[in-house]
Amino acid sequence: MKKLIKRILLILLAVLIAVQAPFVYRRYKLGQLAGKVAELNSVERPPAADRKYKEYKGIIHAHTNLGGHSTGSFDELIAAANANDLDFVIMTEHWSDTIDTAALTLNGVYGKTLFIGGNEIDTADGDRFLMIPGSNDAASLRKLSTNVVLEKLHAENRLALVTYPEKFNSWDSNFDGIEAFSLHTNAKKMNPFTAIFDGIWSYPAYPELMLASYFKRPDENLRKFDEIAAERQVSLFAGTDAHSNIGFHLFGDDAGNKGLNIKLDDYATIFRLARQHVWIDSSKQLTRESLIEAIKAGRSFIGFDVLADTSGFKFESLSALDMGLEWSPDHHGVRVTSPLRGRIVILLNGEKFDEVASARSREIGLSTPGTYRVEVYLDQLGPPFDKMPWIISNPIYVR
């Protein structure tokens, strides 16, 4: 009997080792990836030469415990934004029937970061938007149709950005932008089994890269965006949907003191993954109004800065017209400037139009009307980043 038990235990041990081996190897590969990322970030970059615009980076779509669904505090959020050198954070607190969460959340400059209070709202048609800035009647909007809500928001000079596009219904409505990539949505698609063991082996050493290794290009969201952008001007952005509420603690009290507190989606980690980079007229300061105007105009791009800083990317006409505007083919062409060598892909109405590997710039002539945008890939990092973009631009429109 003792020999049988010993044999069973040895078999179980062998199975356990066999099951864990792939995740040990994954940790080793993430260590190699971390070395490559550090090397990319050490590459010397040319100084910023654009005097017309100044680039700012920040995040869109964040929650605190004020609006429920989150355990994050203001102090935690401010510290994370400042530590990550974010220029702005757009808050999108959930609505409440009893308090004005947009007014009570962070508004104004704290440390080095501008915070803007907005709301995540629902409509009677089952659609969900980020309303920027927020409003004290956010809760009541759920009783109105999507078109009525959009008319109201635009009359009040507010942005209406589609969030959770996979659940959106009113695609013919006049919204301002689409959350093409969501960290929260992407995380929900992770395989729970592999994510748990990846978390055990890799998260403590490489939290951001472990999460980024599960990134997938948002094919359907981009397809829908390209379909709409072919007809009218619209903006795309990445949403962090940061809640800072995944984890556990042992011991604690009603005052919020916690012992052995482990949080897997803390703001500081999430804010290092994906950011929105925005260009604002150099003659203007970074304010709520100038930021909203730039996002609506499409003068921004998605940067997955977890792989390498995307600051310095440009997509512009050779005659120096702005990204986001409409212009005619007689402006001759466009120039793409990447801060690092990468595979530059130019798309026309969502289809590949031009591609060049391992380049820092690309100039091409445009004679075909349509909607053009850019994706840049860091193939040198290996899978999955040969299929997951490092940069996703907003379009230019040639009519």
| Pair (363, 279) in one structural domain | no
- With respect to residue 340, please indicate whether it lies within any of the assigned structural domains: yes
Domain count, the chain: 3
In a domain, 124, yes or no: yes
Tell me the pTM: 0.91
Q: Provide the terminal-to-terminal Cα distance of the chain, rounded to the nearest Å.
A: 82
> By residue range, what is the domain housing residue 231?
53-306
Residue 48 lies in a domain: no
Residues 317 and 294 in one domain: no
**Structural contact between residues 153 and 146, judged by C-beta atoms closer than 8 angstroms:** no
Q: 306, 330, 359: which is the final residue of a domain?
A: 306
Looking at the fold, whether 276 and 317 belong to one and the same domain comes out as no
Boundary-marking domain end, from 244, 274, 306: 306
Same domain, 385 and 339: yes
Last residue of a domain, one of 257, 277, 306: 306
**Do residues 234 and 349 both lie within one domain?**
no
Q: List the one residue out of 66, 58, 90 whose CA is nearest residue 245.
A: 66
**Residue 64 sits in the same domain as residue 171:** yes
Q: Each residue's pLDDT tens digit in the chain (399 positions)? A: 677 676 766 666 556 666 667 888 889 999 999 999 999 999 888 776 667 899 999 999 999 998 767 788 999 999 999 999 999 999 999 999 999 999 999 999 999 999 999 999 999 999 999 999 999 999 999 999 999 999 999 999 999 999 999 999 999 999 999 999 999 899 888 888 788 888 888 889 999 999 999 999 999 999 999 999 999 999 999 999 988 765 543 444 554 555 444 556 799 999 999 999 999 999 999 999 999 999 999 999 999 999 999 999 999 887 654 555 565 655 568 899 999 999 999 999 999 999 999 999 999 988 788 999 999 999 999 999 999 999 999 999 987
| Shared domain check, 296 and 160 | yes
Same domain, 7 and 82: no
Total residue count of the chain as it appears in this document: 399
* Residues 222 and 135 reside in one and the same domain: yes
C-beta pairs of 168-171 under 8 Å, 24+ apart in sequence: 168/127, 168/128, 169/125, 169/126, 169/127, 170/123, 170/125, 170/127, 170/146, 171/224, 171/228
Confirm whether 199 is domain-assigned. yes
Could you tell me if 63 and 12 lie in one domain?
no
Cis peptide before 192 (omega within 30 of 0): no
CATH of the domain at 58: 3.20.20.140
In a domain, 11, yes or no: yes
Note whether 300 and 152 are same-domain residues: yes
Tell the burial category of 99 from Cβ atoms under 10 Å away from its Cβ (0-12, 13-18, 19+).
Answer: middle
Pair 299, 319 in one domain: no
Separation CA 351–CA 346 (nearest Å)? 8
